[in-house]
């Protein structure tokens, strides 16, 4: 039975906290005004000097001053931010206390759940491809025909499953909601959209392939899906896209780059929510 929070597909709010991409947030706590009597506080001269020193150091920090991290390309910044979304067990740069999803070894996937995932992720990749083809933001056109596109491969895989006698489901509310969110984000916040673009393509080519192999073994599929294969040298295709991302980002302000990086956690959570079809 579908979860209650999947029952109504609707676009995600762009200013929503990233605790989950698709679950509604709890109602806001009631605020009760309280009168507070102010008191006079005496601060020593030494304490005042320490406060001034801290304030000066804060102003000099790169995040506050808008300085670029020394010697790093923007893609390196993105990768470093992505690594922090992991636990220390998953990555030496990880900062999360607990993983966003259970280890694949503990998953108990079904063919039906796997098909729901494939249908939803196909819709999401179709949305990415449509956005860059339309290029409402001119520099989106830089990311057309990269060789990383996945929707056609997914069509072939779903056709194969149908030929084996499986019923192909319609996209779930989770997939529809994420696709709608990406459409809206691409129009209003292009830098944040690029974070999802980066994570969906590069994440699939890395951890996604490992997940696909292990799920296929658990389901005894006896077939290598097209979803996990690319025409040409994958490393070169990825390098080409990284170079384009660095080139495009070179024209962004520091604030725009930070907006892209700030979307990382929501991007990770959205992808995990789609994979729930395979482990819940």
Decide: residue 46, CB within 10 A, 0-12 exposed, 13-18 middle, 19+ buried.
exposed
**pLDDT value of residue 64:** 40
pLDDT above 70 coverage of the chain, percent: 73
**pLDDT value of residue 85:** 85
Dihedral over alpha carbons 250, 253, 254, 258 (to 10 degrees): -90
CA angle 271, 277, 280 (to 5 degrees): 110
pLDDT in tens, 135-166: 999 999 999 999 999 999 999 999 999 999 99
**pLDDT value of residue 266:** 96
Residue spans of alpha helices (H) in 66-207: 74-83, 111-134, 151-163, 173-188, 190-203
> Strand pairing partners for 96?
87
Task: Point out the residues of the chain with pLDDT beneath 70.
Answer: 1-70, 88-91, 93
> Top-level CATH class of 74-279?
mainly alpha
Extract the tokens encoding 265: 């956690």
**For residue 196, which of 128, 100, 273 has the smallest C-alpha distance?**
128
Predicted model pTM: 0.77
């Amino acid at each position: 039975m579908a979860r209650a929070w999947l029952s109504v597909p609707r676009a995600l709010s762009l200013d929503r906290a990233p605790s989950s991409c698709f679950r509604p947030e709890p109602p806001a706590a009631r605020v009760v005004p309280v009168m507070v009597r102010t008191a006079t506080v005496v601060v020593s001269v030494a304490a005042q000097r320490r406060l001034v020193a801290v304030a000066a150091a804060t102003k000099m920090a790169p995040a506050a001053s808008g300085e670029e991290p020394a010697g790093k390309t923007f893609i390196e910044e993105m990768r470093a931010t992505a690594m922090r979304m992991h636990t220390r067990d998953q990555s030496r740069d990880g900062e999360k206390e607990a993983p966003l999803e259970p280890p694949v070894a503990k998953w108990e996937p079904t063919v039906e759940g796997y098909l729901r995932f494939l249908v939803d992720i196909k819709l999401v990749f179709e949305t990415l491809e449509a956005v860059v083809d339309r290029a409402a933001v001119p520099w989106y056109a830089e990311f057309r025909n990269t060789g990383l596109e996945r929707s056609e491969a997914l069509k072939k895989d779903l056709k194969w499953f149908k030929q084996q006698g499986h019923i192909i489901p319609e996209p779930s509310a989770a997939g529809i909601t994420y696709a709608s969110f990406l459409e809206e984000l691409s129009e209003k916040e292009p830098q944040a959209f690029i974070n999802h673009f980066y994570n969906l393509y590069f994440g699939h080519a890395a951890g996604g392939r490992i997940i696909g192999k292990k799920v296929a073994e658990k389901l005894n599929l006896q077939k290598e899906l097209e979803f996990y294969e690319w025409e040409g040298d994958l490393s070169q295709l990825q390098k080409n896209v990284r170079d384009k991302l660095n080139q495009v980002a070179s024209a962004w302000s520091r604030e725009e780059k930070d907006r892209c990086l700030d979307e990382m956690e929501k991007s990770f959570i959205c992808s995990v929510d789609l994979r729930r079809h395979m482990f819940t």
